[in-house]
Structure 1
Amino acid sequence: MDRQTLAAYDHDAATFAKDWHAQPAPVDLQETVARFFIRGGTTADIGCGCGREVAWLNANGFPAVGFDASDGLLAEARARYPNLNFAHAELPKLQGIAADAYDNVLCETVIMHLGCAQIGPAVRRLLDIVKPSGVLYLSWRVTDKCDIRDGDGRFYAAFDAALVRTELPDGTPFLDEEVVSASSGKKIHRLVVKKPGLQNRD
């Protein structure tokens, strides 16, 4: 995770949490999850921020735990949703999360905060924590032409979707699209893939 980005989230966690909760509901994300995720399956939200999606997942049949690299954002999540589970984990390694641990993994607009050299390992690790025949939802904010850093100091990597696709060669693609997020109003790319089942693995 980019250190300056992480410092920005830690320093202004309350402001980011307030802003995110004030955004329109992410109905497009919710519809995609409801369509492709395994209902009732164990679910991880990687980069859960202040916990908005973790709350929705748990309320809609996807028992979920949230993971984030920002202790500030995790504190906001725990304060807002004291009955839900949150833990620290950082891409690309996601230390402390076992392989084949979750039926569903959600990673919404996180990997663009990584340097390009870390994106491939992060995608491989995200798929690694999905159970065989489980589902990975992965999205990122699209930045054209060159990397940028916004006024808050957050880093946004510019990269082609092929960099992500090459790390998912054996997955069954359910969705691969570039859209405008209903919540943030920003252009994002989203992929949904099914991990191969045990019968298809060496």
Structure 2
Amino acid sequence: MTDTTDHTTDPAPGFLTATRTFYDTVAEDYAERFRDALTTMPLERAVLTAYAELVGAGGRVADLGCGPGRTTGFLASLGLDVSGLDLSESMLAIARRENPGIRFEQGSMLKLDGHADGSLDGVVSFYSSIHTPVGELPALFAEFHRVLTPGGHLLLGFQVGDEPRHHDRPWGHPVALDFERRRPEQMAELLTSAGFTMWSSTVRQAEPDRGESTPQALLIAHRPTKA
């Protein structure tokens, strides 16, 4: 699940290139490691299910930073009209292979050129903003707000904390990347500043048996129907 911003400059910003390279390199190992992750995550499944009910059956949703498409496929099974977007073509190849009925596209969350203003009923960023520098988050959330219809809902998932976790040579591959941790109150404040209204904030404790070292947060916010 990957994404950062693309400022249409050439060469691409370093963090964008690093993120894409990291996930292109580890895609098959990553997909295999986390293939059945949602089946062992009851709280996450419950929040995703509640989110789907908020959006409504047939609602048009974009899963941004979709990675190998496991969350995209789950959302589709809940009756949503969902598509996926990711930086990594290697991740997208897996997503298309495992979810042949779902549309997946390559791109950045901060440049959703394929979506007109107010064209989506839902936006999901499920652990996909974690490589976006904190200074880019206001622009990221502004883009989410732009593409949502009034009354549309955003689901944001991330690890809780103050310091990034550095992953070096995962599965023996010669790549490294920082995974940012955020505070729920910090993210809620940024979402409110971007024009969202908070609906829920869910935090659960880390599960070391799953390799987690920090709590996990799931926020749901919506674009108000009136400005």
- Shorter-chain TM-score category? 0.7 to 0.9
Which structure 1 residue ranges, 5 or more long, are not aligned? none
Report the counterpart of residue 193 of structure 1 in structure 2. 221
User: How far does the alpha carbon of each residue in 1:44-92 deviate from its partner, in whole angstroms, 9 at most, with x for none?
Assistant: 1111111111111111111211111111100110111122111112132
Residue 24 of structure 1: how far off its partner (Å):
4.7
Q: Tell me which of 184, 190, 211 is aligned to 1:167.
A: 190
User: Are 1:110 and 2:128 matched, yes or no?
Assistant: yes
Residue 181 of structure 1: how far off its partner (Å):
6.9
Report the counterpart of residue 178 of structure 2 in structure 1. 155
Which deviates the most, 163-172 or 180-189? Answer: 180-189
- The 1:6/1:132 distance shift into structure 2, 3 A limit, reads same
- Total equivalences in the alignment: 198
Normalised TM-score (structure 2): 0.78
Residue identity (%): 21
**4+ residue segments displaced more than 4 Å:** 181-185
Which structure 2 residue ranges, 5 or more long, are not aligned? 5-14, 171-175
User: Are 1:9 and 2:13 matched, yes or no?
Assistant: no
Q: CA RMSD in A?
A: 2.2
Distance in 2 separating the partners of 1:128 and 1:93 = 11
Q: Is the 8 A contact 1:23 1:184 kept in 2?
A: no
Report the counterpart of residue 30 of structure 1 in structure 2. 45
Q: Is the 8 A contact 1:10 1:72 kept in 2?
A: yes
Report the counterpart of residue 39 of structure 1 in structure 2. 56
Which deviates the most, 152-161 or 54-63? Answer: 152-161
Match of 1:31, SS state, is helix
Distance in 1 separating the partners of 2:190 and 2:30 = 31
Matches within 5 A, 1:71-86: 71-86=89-104
Match of 2:35, SS state, is helix
Normalised TM-score (structure 1): 0.87
Amino acid at match of 1:60: L
